Amino acid sequence: MVVERFSQSIINSGIFKLYIATGFFGTLIFFVVNADLFTPIEMIFSIIAITIILKGISNIMLSLIISTFSLDNKRAELEFKHNADKIDALLTDLTIQDAATN
């Protein structure tokens, strides 16, 4: 659960989309500047291939970030919050039972 939230927040930040878009437009500009060296079919297939490669690299970067980032503090915080909620619920039940017996 902690890993899913962390990875979703990284994905939602948009940094990987920006990385892919920058690579796409950089490749597009490269082929426009060097248009006399390449045929249009070569340009299209190269742009598509490079964009797919950049998407794969961004997925690898995401997996490396997730695997190397320590989420122990967040996990401990969530466990503490869960335990505190349990204790509060038990205290409420105890208060209700005590009020019912008096």
Ordered per-residue pLDDT tens for the chain, 102 residues? 667 777 888 888 888 899 999 999 999 999 999 999 999 999 999 999 999 999 999 999 988 888 887 777 777 888 899 999 999 999 999 999 988 887
Please tell me the predicted confidence (pLDDT) of residue 6: 77
Cβ contacts of 75 within 8 Å, gap of 6 or more: 2
Determine the 3-state secondary structure of 38 from DSSP. Answer: coil
Q: Which of 99, 13, 17, 6 is nearest to 51 (CA)?
A: 17
pLDDT at 1: 64
| Domain ranges, ordered by start, for the chain | 1-69, 71-102
pLDDT for the residue numbered 28: 92
Asked if residues 82 and 6 have their Cβ atoms less than 8 Å apart, the reply is no
**Residue 16 burial (C-beta neighbours within 10 Å; 0-12, 13-18, 19+):** middle
pLDDT of residue 32: 92
